Chain A
Amino acid sequence: MSETETNVETTTSLWGGGVTPYKGISHIKLGMWLFIISDALTFSALLFGYAYLRNASPNWPDPFKFFPSILVSTLMTFCLLTSSLTMVLAVHHSQHGDRAKAFKWILATMLGGMAFLVLHANEWRELIHHGMTTFSNPWGDSMFGATFFTITGLHMTHVLSGVIYLGVVAWRLERRKTFDDEVEVAGLYWHFVDLVWMFVFPLLYLMSVDMGGN
């Protein structure tokens, strides 16, 4: 193998420099991807902690009844999934230059996010009302509450930031200030937040269903 490129005339290949090797992917989008990877690792750390503690615990509780917990969390899942769909539409329209429609679909996405937040906050309120805190709960291992509130809390913060972020993008869209793929980049973030929920929902809710055993 030729070990050097010394005498090779300056290449015009994608990796030859002077051009981005990722056609059609702006550096901002690339940055968002890297942020997502990093953020996913923070969530992984928390989920790993959850798995570790749950496995070590002799009395991990399964307190969630079908009603209201599972029904409500399914509804929340539905909200997020729908908002992902509306986000796809927003991106689609923004790519086709239809600013007005993109704007509307972003608002719809924000609505989905806010519905999720309202349901979630209400659920937290109920759980706290039933005596579940970060340090104790009526059903078993105190770490149940700690892991639940920490992981869903971090996720909730992400959804909240996402709604604000989308609001800013919508505002900039309205004022024609967005850069090329700004909506798409925001979409990446939003889908990521939904994806995290697709881990949280089965691991924290479905695995804690009260199956009526002892």
Chain B
Amino acid sequence: MSEATAHHDAHAAPTGFVRRYLFSMDHKVIGIQYWILALVAVFIGMALSFLMRLQIAYPDTPFAFLEALFPKGAEGGQLTPEFYLSMVTMHGTIMVFFVLTTAPQGGFGNWGLPIQIGARDMAFPFLNMMSFWVTFLAFVAIIIALFFAGGAPLGGWTGYPPLSALGPEAGPGQGWGMTWWIISIALFCVASLIGSLNFIVTTLVLRCKGMTLMRMPLTCWGWFTTAILSLLSFPVLLGAGVLLLLDRHAGTSFFLPSNLVVGGKPVDHSGGSPILFQHLFWFFGHPEVYIAILPGMGAVSQIIATCARKPIFGYRAMVYAIFAIGGLGFFVWGHHMFISGMNPYTAVAFSVLTLTIGVPSAVKTINWLGTIWGGKIRFNTPMLFSLGFVSVFVSGGLGGIFLGQSSVDLFLHDTYFVVGHFHLTMGVSAIFGIFAGTYYWFPKMFGRMMHEGMGKAHFFISLIGVYLIFIPMHTIGMGGAPRRYYDSTSFKYLEDIISMNSMITWAAFITIGAQAIFVVNLIWTMLAGKKASDNPWEATTLEWICATPPVHLNFDEDPVVHHGPYEYSVPGAEKDYIMQTDPPSAVPAGTPAQH
């Protein structure tokens, strides 16, 4: 065997529960571990959003169950402002890091990348195992922060100083709760460094014979590019996190300005700058939104081509667009800081660069539409969630065109317009990508088909629900409703939005409730779902030639690839799809090139 794959012989199929399912080095098991972690996290995050929405719609109504659950945070059945803020913080942090960064890349990426490029495993199976367990530790740390006696931190998922750098005197939750929050984020940075390094090396050196770069499924391009973004952005966040910890515990003042007064008392720090933190944070933060979304874009491209029975429209354009989005993503962080005070010329530069990202995003959208155009579309659940992804991503993206202009952003910044925008573009899109991937790969991961009827019900209620939640948020944001605020009914000028806020809350309750359908579907499928055939979607990529579920080391013999990933409906071919491993003769001689 070539040297690239030789080391795999080192790890034979493990026996015993612990080595097999807990400390496994098999990329498929690790992928599923990540996926389960994200599943747990998303329900915690969702529960928090339920409480927030309850508070927003009924700020003056006491609820006995709240007091029973949180004797301190909801004394008398009503949430305190600090408690609301700590929920905003925890909801955002858990969702961004432990759901959107964990499931698409750590989960599906780990499970799918090696198989789809025809490798036996990741390049560094041991590091792979480590990256999961460090992520797990980070998750434990965030849960500790959530339940820490002094209260969970209030700084928002962005953890801005000075608040986050001060310590207990800055309010409840700013003591050890905040420190644990930072520890969690730092651990997460380390885990993603290990993970992304592994993804990049694997993609570069472990592709099987015939798997040229331009024959890789777009999913692999998504994971590969995401890994590059992680490798380059998380270390900067790590740096910021270390400095923040030092500010809190070593007396430095990196992010604490001179002459700061907190609670009437002057603070014993001087010489630092909170804006410095914003630069470091958003240098990571903007690429992070692409880390969340690119794997979803890859999965959606894959599913749309498969279910439209057509080659993806403009494969190369799709690849270049992924790279363009990823690359430009490093030069736009300033659009989060228009209001922090910056030279207007700098703002113009950041504006223009930001709007430029619209171009590759539009290329992707048009190519998705081009792919379904005239296709023989199969409207199964993975396809529905993929189309939902495109719809929601575009709807949310339109708001970005407003926010990207510095002059408009001055008005919209820190309003609900932003909340509506990022939930649609990054939150819901990525979640829809995760759902699409789950319904699509579940048969291969666990050997059973998820229930279609429940899947469709889940999709339609969720789709309508998220639109009813997040589009009106744009409207109330334009009306001036502030973000991260626990009771906007107390403002005269916001009286008109109260009814809309309760409507949003009820839409949120229904949407959250609809996720029960998904849970029931998962459990039902695991117990009684229909056995899946090896290739239920009649797809072309390599995971579908594997056993169901795939064996340890994936393939019985090393696959050899002869075709691109999207050879659907090739004129004159026997079937309407050609597996990547089918012999070259599967394409009739003289057939014009596709995609």
Which A positions have Cβ atoms within 8 angstroms of B?
2-7, 9-11, 13, 15-22, 26-28, 30-31, 34-35, 37-39, 41-46, 48-49, 52-53, 56-57, 133-135, 141-143, 146, 150, 154
Contact = CB atoms under 8 A, between A and B. Distances in A.
Contact of A49 (B204, B243, B563): B243
A37 B230 CA distance: 12
Given A35-B193, A146-B254, A30 B204 contact: yes
Contacts of B595: 3-4
A7 B2 contact: no
Nearest to B558: A18
B272 interface: yes
A9 B584 contact: yes
Contact of A10 (B123, B210, B254): B210
Given A5-B212, A30-B201, A38 B232 contact: yes
B552 to A, nearest CB: 20
B480 interface: no
A10 B242 CA distance: 49
Contacts of A49: 239, 243, 254, 276, 280
A3 B558 CA distance: 26
Contacts of A17: 117-118, 207-212, 215, 561
B2 A5 contact: no
A150 B246 contact: yes
Contacts of B239: 41-46, 49
B453 interface: no
Nearest to B200: A34
B243 A46 contact: yes
A3 B564 CA distance: 10
30 contacts: A3-B595, A4-B594, A15-B212, A16-B209, A16-B212, A17-B210, A18-B558, A20-B205, A21-B204, A28-B124, A31-B124, A35-B197, A37-B231, A38-B231, A38-B234, A41-B236, A44-B236, A45-B235, A46-B242, A52-B273, A53-B276, A134-B246, A135-B250, A135-B252, A143-B253, A146-B253, A146-B271, A150-B243, A150-B246, A150-B254
B260 interface: no
Given A53-B254, A150-B252, A34 B231 contact: yes
B271 A143 contact: yes
B483 interface: no
Minimum-distance CB pairs A-B, first 8: A45-B239, A18-B209, A135-B251, A146-B252, A17-B211, A17-B207, A10-B210, A41-B235
Contacts of A48: 279-280
Contacts of B243: 46, 49, 150
A143 B561 CA distance: 58
Contacts of B208: 17-18
B213 interface: yes
A134 B251 CA distance: 6
A31 to B, nearest CB: 5
Contacts, number: 179
Contacts of A21: 204-205
Contacts of A30: 201, 204-205
Given A17-B207, A30-B204, A45 B240 contact: yes
A93 B117 CA distance: 37
- Name the interface size band of chain B: 35 or more
A31 B193 CA distance: 11
B238 interface: yes
Nearest to B240: A45
Contacts of A26: 3
Contacts of B283: 45
B593 A134 contact: no
Contacts of A56: 273
Given A22-B204, A49-B239, A2 B231 contact: no
B321 to A, nearest CB: 15
Contacts of A141: 271
A19 B2 contact: yes
A3 B315 contact: yes
A53 B272 contact: yes
Contact of A143 (B200, B213, B234, B252): B252
Contact of A15 (B3, B213, B254): B213
Nearest to B5: A18
B567 interface: yes
B587 A7 contact: yes
Interface in B280-317: 280, 283, 315-316
A204 to B, nearest CB: 15
Interface in B232-278: 232, 234-236, 238-240, 242-243, 246, 250-254, 268-273, 276
Contacts of B561: 10, 17
B562 interface: yes
B97 to A, nearest CB: 18
Given A17-B561, A20-B3, A39-B235, A6 B193 contact: no
A134 B584 contact: no
B44 interface: no
B273 A38 contact: no
Contacts of A2: 593
A34 B230 CA distance: 11
A10 B205 CA distance: 17
Contacts of B253: 135, 142-143, 146
A11 B560 CA distance: 11
A211 to B, nearest CB: 22
Given A6-B594, A45-B235, A143-B252, A18 B207 contact: yes
Nearest to B207: A17
B230 to A, nearest CB: 9
A45 B560 CA distance: 44
Given A35-B193, A38-B196, A150-B242, 14 more contacts: A5-B212, A5-B215, A27-B4, A35-B197, A42-B236, A44-B239, A46-B242, A52-B279, A53-B271, A133-B251, A143-B271, A143-B272, A146-B271, A150-B243
